[in-house]
Amino acid sequence: MSTEMKTGLVLSGGGAVGAYQAGVVKALAECGTQISMVSG
């Protein structure tokens, strides 16, 4: 039985945190990580 792994991204709110989160999303995309679910 083969199980497909999925990646979820959990974000928190507030001010300058958004700039940090944008950098993380960009880095994940550059290394080929596909995000299946987003929360926050």
Average pLDDT over residues 4-22: 85
Average pLDDT over residues 8-30: 87
Confidence tier at 32 by pLDDT (50, 70, 90):
very high
Amino acid symbol at 32: G
Is the pLDDT score of 15 beyond 80? Answer: no
HEC string of the chain?
Answer: CCCCCCEEEECCCCCCHHHHHHHHHHHHHHCCCCEEEEEC
Is the pLDDT score of 1 beyond 70? Answer: no
25 contact partners, CB below 8 Å, separation of at least 6: 9, 35
Q: What is the mean pLDDT of the chain?
A: 87
Confidence tier at 22 by pLDDT (50, 70, 90):
confident
